[in-house]
Amino acid sequence: MELAFVILGAAILGIIARYSLPHRELVGALLLPLTTAAAAAIVWELLTWAGMKPSSPWIWIITFAIAIIKAFGAELWLVRRRLKADAQALASR
């Protein structure tokens, strides 16, 4: 059940990242929320396999901290990559 909360919370963080940063029209609408949710689910599973219990606050803090870093970092990286690719495409014409 906790994994469902993690996925939902991370998807919401991805949506917040998408709509709070500029140039959001350059990245797909669902790309950031879905990849953030997938990354958070993977981190959560790795931490549970490492022996952390869902009742520990550290598993929640680590999972959502990584989700926040991933969401905003990926948005900035994707936008920068898209702007660079667009500039190269325009320069080659």
Residue with tokens 């969401």: 71
Give dist(CA 89, CA 81) in Å, integer.
12
Please state the domain count of the chain: 1
What does the pLDDT read at residue 80? 94
- The predicted-structure confidence for 53-76, as pLDDT tens digits, reads as follows 999 999 999 999 999 999 999 999
Give dist(CA 11, CA 6) in Å, integer.
8
Domain range for residue 24? 2-91
What does the pLDDT read at residue 93? 82
Query: Do residues 57 and 27 make contact, with C-beta atoms less than 8 angstroms apart?
Result: no
What does the pLDDT read at residue 69? 96
| Chunked mean pLDDT (size 10), the chain, 93 residues | 96 94 90 96 97 96 97 94 94 89
